[in-house]
Amino acid sequence: MKYMLLVLLHFGIFSVTHAQLTMLPNGGNKKASVSEWVGITNVTITYNRPGVKGREGQIWGKLVATGYTDQGFGTSKAAPWRAGANENTTIEFNTDVKIEGQTLPAGKYALFIAYDPAECTLIFSRNYTSWGSFFYDPKEDALQVKVKPVALDNSVEWLRYEFKDQKESSATIALEWEKVSIPFKVETDYIQTQLASFRRELRSDKGFTWNAWVTAAQFCIQHNTNLDEALDWSNTAISGTFIGQKNFQTLSTKAQVLALQGKSSEADAIMKEALPLGQVADVHQYARMLLTQKRSKEAFDVFKLNYDRHPNEFTTNMGMARAWSAMGDYKKAIAFIQKAQPQAPDKLNKDNIDKSLKMLQEGKDIN
C-alpha cells in the first residue's frame, strides 16, 4: 500500500494544491456582471451584490464607511469602499471614454468609492487584480472624479449597477443600494471611434463587398462628417477592384456625398444614372427626400418616372398623390390616393391613407 501511494504521488495523481469548489460568495452575496454598449464602446462591470438584509438605515456612513478607513489588514491605512462586496468591483472599456468630462483611456480598472453624503469620490484604479481595497494605493489611480449621491424613493435590496439616460454617445451608470444612488456619466467620441472601426474593418475580410463601403459612406452622410473620405469609400463601392458595382445604392450614395459637398450638378448627373437601376421603393424614397429639400419639381419628375415604369401599384399611386400634392393640385392628388386606397397592404397604411385623403379634401398638403 505504501508502495502504491508513492507511485501515485510520483505521477502527480494526488495534488498538494487544492482547487476551490464553486459556491456562493461569502456572506450570501451575489456575483453579477452587466455589460452594455455606449455608441460602439463596450462597458462591462463585474461585481458582487451585497443585500440590505434588514439593515435599513445602517448601510451608508456605517456599513459603508464615510471617506477612507483603516481596515486593519493589508498595506492601506486609508482605503475607500470597494463599490460592492468580496472581490474588487471592476469596470472595463474597450475604447477611450470620458467620465464626468475627464478622459480615461481604454482598459480595465478597479472601481472604488470614497463615500460622502454630500459628494462621493469615484476612483478608477489600475490595480484591478487585488482582493478588495486592502492594498489600495493612490499612486495607482488612473482617475478620480467627484459625484453627488442621489436619494431613492424606493429601497433597493441587492446592490446593482444600472445604465440610464442612454444616448448615441453617452450613458449614466448608477450604483444603487438601499435608498442611495451614486450616478456617473460615461461619454464616448462615437463618431471618431466608429470611423476608426470602419477603417480597420474595411481592410479586413469585411471589406470584400461593396455593401460595407456603402455602409461606411452612409454613416458619414448621416452625420455630415469626413465627406472626402466618404467620397473615396463610395467610389470604391462603385468601381473598386473585385467588389465594385454600379447599382442604385452605390451610385445614390456617391450622389448624396456630392450634394453635401455642394456639388449639386455632379450629384444630379450621378442620380440620373442611378434612377433606372433602382427598385420601386428606392426611387420612391429618393423622391421623398427631394420633397424634404423643397425640390418639388424634381421630386415630381422622379415620382412620375417610377409610376411610368410601375403603373398602378400602391407605392407609385401614393407617389403620384404626393407629387401632385407638392405641386398644389389637390384634385389630381385625391384621384391617385383613391386608387391607392384598396391597394393598401396593412392597417397602418390604410390609416395613413384615410388621414392623407382627409387633409387633401381640406386643401392641405400631405407632404
E-assigned strand segments in the chain: 30-38, 41-49, 90-93, 97-99, 102-104, 107-114, 120-125, 141-147, 150-164, 170-187
**Consecutive 10-residue averages of pLDDT for the chain (367 residues):** 42 46 70 95 96 95 95 94 95 97 98 98 96 95 98 96 96 98 97 96 96 96 96 97 95 95 94 94 92 91 94 95 96 95 93 94 95
The residue extents of the domains of the chain are 21-188, 191-361
Give 118-123 contacts, CB < 8 A, sequence gap 24+.
118/148, 119/146, 119/147, 119/148, 119/149, 120/146, 120/147, 120/148, 120/149, 120/182, 121/80, 121/145, 121/146, 122/146, 122/147, 122/182, 122/184, 123/80
Provide the CATH topology of domain 191-361: 1.25.40
pLDDT at residue number 176: 98
pLDDT at residue number 29: 79
pLDDT at residue number 16: 45
